[in-house]
């Protein structure tokens, strides 16, 4: 009869040979994912930084001015939206902190950029993990406009509400180019180190979870949540990664997971539509809290939008499949 101590030793002896290979594979996958991400982050960040430094980015507001009124926003809101689309949530928060918007306008701008930010980099991540990057970018833009429009109508917001000063602009960049370049390099290095410190342990944990067959135990409690969101349980790990870490920080895991497993195209499309609208559910909304924006608007609109989109996509695909079956049956019958 085996004692408790003997059983523990036996388990340790079985687990030990799998532990180090799992760690090594996790480090290898994490490093490859990190290098791939660097190839996106560094050039995109540098190009965007140059646009901001030169002021060119702020001359693009004419592209969005026609739809600002439609969304209940003043023309100067286009500057904040452009900053968010190209530079991410941090650019939006920085802009809102110096531009005197009414709280209602700040809410709408936060809703828009929570859905549609860092568009180039994050669309490339989605493109490497199961969905056309141009479709992903276009969908997020469209979703941001529609959700912001509906929020504006619900709140009764108009562009002429007290807030922004006429001709308000983002702070001018008066640094020398070398000073700007040094600042960009330091900021980028900090970001890269943060991503490295997230990706490497996460990939090791993912690999160990796969080696020791504990992924099912991690995902099982998410079953009801995924069903409520209109997603398949098979996509649980991908959704959890995007929800907690976002599309940028979680990119290595998301890309690796989609490569390692065969997902149904429809399930993967539903997932990408959902996480495209609603990801980084902790960090991104929290960045707006110091501005005094109510919690409800930071979390609920994009969560509701993500749920509606997945259910709409499911209904659409079901109707299309039904129509195709009826059409095929009719052709056979006529023949």
CA distance 13 to 21: 14
Pairwise CA distance, residues 146 & 309, whole Å: 12
136, 276 Cβ separation under 8 angstroms: yes
Q: Model's pTM, two decimal places? A: 0.78
Instruction: Give, as one character, the DSSP assignment of residue 222.
Output: G
Distance CA 235, CA 281 (A): 17
**pLDDT tens by residue, 30-57:** 888 788 778 877 887 787 678 777 777 6
Radius of gyration of the chain (CA): 23
pLDDT of residue 167: 42
The predicted-structure confidence for 204-239, as pLDDT tens digits, reads as follows 887 887 777 777 777 788 889 999 999 998 899 899
User: What is the chain's mean pLDDT, rounded?
Assistant: 83
């Amino acid at each position: 009869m085996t004692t408790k101590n003997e059983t523990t030793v036996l388990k340790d002896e079985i687990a030990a040979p799998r532990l180090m290979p799992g760690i090594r594979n996790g480090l290898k996958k994490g490093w490859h994912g990190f290098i791939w991400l660097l190839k996106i982050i560094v050039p995109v960040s540098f190009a965007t930084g140059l646009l901001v430094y030169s002021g060119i980015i702020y001359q693009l507001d004419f592209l969005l001015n026609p739809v600002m009124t439609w969304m209940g926003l003043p023309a100067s809101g286009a500057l904040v939206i452009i900053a968010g689309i190209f530079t991410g949530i941090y650019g939006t928060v920085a802009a809102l902190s110096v531009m005197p918007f009414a709280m209602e306008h700040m809410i709408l701008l936060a809703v828009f950029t929570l859905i549609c930010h860092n568009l180039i980099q994050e669309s490339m991540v989605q493109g490497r993990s199961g969905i056309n990057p141009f479709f992903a970018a276009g969908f997020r833009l469209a979703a941001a406009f529609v959700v912001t429009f509906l929020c504006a109508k619900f709140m009764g917001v108009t562009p002429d509400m007290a807030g922004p000063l006429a001709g308000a602009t983002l702070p001018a960049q008066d640094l020398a180019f070398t000073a700007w370049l040094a600042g960009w390099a330091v900021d980028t290095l900090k970001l890269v180190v943060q991503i490295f410190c997230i990706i490497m342990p996460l990939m090791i944990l993912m690999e160990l979870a796969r080696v020791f067959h504990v992924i099912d135990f991690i995902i099982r409690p998410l079953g009801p949540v995924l069903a409520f969101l209109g997603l398949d349980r098979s996509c649980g790990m991908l959704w959890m990664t995007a929800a907690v870490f976002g599309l940028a920080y979680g990119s290595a895991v998301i890309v690796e997971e989609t490569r390692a497993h065969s997902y149904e195209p429809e399930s993967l499309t539903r997932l990408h539509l959902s996480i495209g609208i609603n990801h980084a559910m902790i960090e991104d909304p929290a960045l707006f809290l110091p501005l005094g924006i109510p919690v409800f608007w930071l979390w609920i609109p994009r969560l509701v939008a993500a749920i509606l989109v997945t259910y709409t996509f499911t209904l659409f695909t079901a109707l299309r499949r039904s129509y195709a079956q009826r059409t095929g049956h009719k052709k056979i019958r006529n023949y």
